[in-house]
Structure 1
């Protein structure tokens, strides 16, 4: 569930993780899940189906999104959307100037405008059966607009374990790729986005 602490803002769970106060009730778990799924679909996969106009860089009017949510469920208010975004520890969405967009995970064609990565390496976790294909073809988007890379080995392992108990992790020379003109953007502290990663930039494989 989502609650709001007067001092620390919105959070998920029974008590504020910063001060252990119960806070004000905002959404129960069922409505949190329903609204979360609706927003994910609206901002990542099918905005036009919901009558939403999306800018090229993924932004949608938060008023229009609220109206679309209300048409479907009746109960959502704008503050529910703000609370869901503020309390999301994965940083999946951002709000600015009356607009909202998904930070990553798009299957629709968007052109995000995040800053280029300044780190040296990036990491990508896969099931072992995909290793040979990637070494031949490179890392390409699968059902998504961008390739999602990890900023650390630990995060790549965590992501890879969603699909395999023993994922293989590629270490990528991100600095060289960017120097050569590839677009590798910082979505948040854990996730990088790239159009593709040619196999030439794969440095090592951790099994």
Structure 2
């Protein structure tokens, strides 16, 4: 079983195109694991997938992308569909990090961090992880430091995506510093 490919397929189905898999999501983004399983099994390359494979991917996902409860599964963040996963605001760490392209850095410093087609801005607790994400768009990304605790005190809501990722709807530029330009 190629768990990396299965994880990518599950992410695509739960975050971006549930209709392609005929998944019936509730208002919180939850789908029956059995329904997801049957939808995956309809594709020839996943015909042998079993429920335990889905559970394994959800539990071992390196970025904690999935949540399972009461025989249901959902993606926790990164949705491009109109569904908004409701999260309770939390107390973020003092600093968070966001990796971005050199091209986007100036616009972010002028206009703030915006979700850009996603529901939330994603920020990492670790600068190395943020730079790794930034390398998807630029081989020499810019590391931005977000003064999360200060922004929270001034009314910016932060939501815990998982142990490695925090989310916000928008972060005003005054809370962002350029940490590193490669």
TM-score (norm 1): 0.76
Which one of 131, 138, 145 corresponds to residue 157 of structure 1?
131
Unaligned runs of at least 5 residues, structure 1 = 1-26
Q: CA contact under 8 A between 1:59 and 1:99: conserved in structure 2?
A: yes
Residues 35 and 118 from structure 1, CA distance in 2 versus in 1: closer, same or farther, beyond 3 angstroms?
closer
When the two chains are superposed, the root-mean-square deviation of aligned CA atoms in Å is 2.0
Matches within 5 A, 1:43-192: 43-73=14-44, 74-109=47-82, 110-113=84-87, 116-192=90-166
Gaps of 5+ in 2: none
Residues 153-203 of structure 1: per-residue CA shift (max 9 Å, x gap): 222222223332322111111112222332211112221111111212214
Task: Report the 3-state secondary structure (helix = DSSP H, G, I; strand = E; otherwise coil) of the residue aligned with 2:54.
Answer: helix
Residue in structure 1 matched with residue 8 of structure 2 by the alignment: 37
Larger Rg: 1
> What residue in structure 2 maps to residue 12 of structure 1?
none
Taking structure 1 as reference, are residues 38 and 158 closer, same or farther at Cα in structure 2, changes over 3 Å only? closer
The 8 Å contact of residues 125 and 167 in structure 1, kept in 2 or not, is answered as yes
Higher relative contact order (CA 8 A, sep 6+): 2
- Conserved in 2, the CA contact under 8 Å of 1:160 and 1:168? yes
Give the alignment's TM-score, normalised by structure 2: 0.86
**SS state of the match for residue 140, structure 1?**
coil
CA shift for structure 1 position 94: 1.8
1-side partners of 2:89 and 2:34: how far apart? Answer: 27
Looking at structure 2, the residues matched to 117 and 44 of structure 1 have their Cα atoms a distance apart, in angstroms, of 25
